[in-house]
Chain A
């Protein structure tokens, strides 16, 4: 028998002594009695005198009662020490059960019949583990996908651990549920965290659509087990982890980094051979590489790690890449890239279907040899009103026509929305400007003279873009029309002007990060004169092009519209200024970029991301917003922070997402659609690993599950409490039957 209770010996003796003293005192102190009138106490006197003959027996009965009470106290206190039978041969273990909840665990090959998913089998294995807990074993359950989520604290409460694994219907606030961690996820907000925790609690451990990050999981488990007795990690997984993650583990205590241990230190100690197998840049010094390797490696020294494999089959064909883009020259058309791989050991056959919305754009039968990777490009696909594309691997009849992992059989992509922009040019005849716009397919140009505009500013109503060529109006077109100025002047200039013009400026620097300046070079552009702007960042103004320190091209976000201003004018009849910009390739590029920027269309904007990665997405127009709403594929809404116009995006489910920033009144001020796909060859390679080796070639092979067995033990406290209750019952009965009175 062992005593596993939390009470120390000294404390136990104090409590026992105190309780015994209290019990004895209770027997010594005089009892407060009820008064009762009798007509003739002499009769009672007679009886009691006779009874007093038996006073010794009476005292003895009280003594028996006292001893009974002391025995009850002793039993209760002894049960508090948690006496346990059958656990003498080992001490209590601290167990972290890592349940792989990555996408591959959705594969329906948990059993030979294909009726269970790997996730279901993993939950059953977790149940067996929990049931085999005994003695003072305590366990914590962690859900492992791209993020590691502790679902419980260390506890020996087996029913609660079962509930966490399988989920419960509990309508309470998650914060009120004992055992549930306060912060289960790196939350974007408290409500999201609570909602996610509630979902997890209700649904149990379920597989997500993200790959598993084993390194993070092992690190979290090791951290949780730090300073705990007999640490043990049990990994329940299909073993679909990248080799790199398996290698970044050490079971030996890492050697401390010695200061000054470089090649020139002259130390006689041999330097560790480092850099092999690591992904650190080769250009780094050996010492730095060593440090980085140490930092990335998970230290599992002293921790017993076991592995329970799940999964039966390895046949799978999955889409590992899917993207779409518009042509730069012809934004109405687009091309699609799909990459499919057969991860199985046998030939596979599928139908690859491409949909634009619900319209089937293309169907292609593909036959893939074992391990073959197929790259398919669809070019010059015509545009349509739909912008949601999906690629589907449909099963075909016959052997090798289907697989057990459906998640990577569908991929999603978004085509940036594009429409023709209405552009009004306010100019006297300018051949360069008009010519450039006329050859651009995506605009619907119109032209008025400055005089006509002055007379009737409403001519600009309904326009998407208004270009003021060497003319600065007093009345600006109403938003959301974006504005493009060439050589603005005076007080009505959209960006504050410097007092003096610059003669023959040379452009020395451009902001290539700005969409307008993308692919544009202006290094040797000639101009005989230009105005200079004085942009102010606090008003949303920025400079795109400098002549040394003078700003020649400025951009500005003015509420819902954007403004772009060039300090120089384009050559035209009647103007004395001259520039060769219109004669360069940069000019139409500038115009196209400007129009695309005005339309919110960025050619290099990625809208398709892999699940499980955290991305920073430019949220165009989200000025002043600090938070955005993310509507997921399941319709659930979460919140994500927005910093400097960049929203944080984390796709944990495959499908389409919508990120929208709202102003204080709740009106959407910026919105973007995104798609998330599994796109992980590691996850699509669902071949289960029967055995797992951590720490590289010289690492440790995790023991087979059959060797893992937690000693069964029997806790006695419940029986002791029942015994104490029985004694109390006996005492109660004997007291009220006047046997021990």
Chain B
């Protein structure tokens, strides 16, 4: 596979599965009087109404942008905050034995606790609303970034330290000249996974009683049995998450051209 662009064959194969899936969905639901799952066309119409209005003209018409913007700001905000905390913390844990001994055991115990389990506590501490959502997204993105940063700075090839030392790099400069660039591929993997998790937990995060957000309308529409809206929200999250990952991947290819795994 080439790094840039897809062959026509790849495009056809990539589209085959979703097209077949939608077709099966259509055949299973179209014309069924009491189907609990709406057929794809109804969902498409609903999505159009959510985005541009003019079909139902109800409470949800033309609100997609508002909800998308709310979710985007939580995903990227939570992700940015997670990176801001996890990157320096990971570097310290990876390079400084005292910090590792201080923090690592606690983190190992906190890490297996799923984000959903934090939901009630988050609502008590941060209240009902966007601050809880923000916290849960932060938590989802935090561990992948932290763990990959620790792994990256810890696993710098020993030879590179010797090479730097014999070329005259002072011990104080080794971190910037060797550790950081050498661990960039791992750190980048962590950021990519972290952003992916931020999208995964946004729905849970927005179960905290926020008014806007894709997760919020999915939960709300569920209670109103507006399944078309639920699926519209799901599709929107999928597409946004995909696009956001592609952007990160393109960035990685530029920044990590030197790495056989990324370049």
Are A and B a genuine interacting pair, yes or no? no
- Write the residues of chain A forming the contact surface with B, with a CB cutoff of 8 angstroms: none
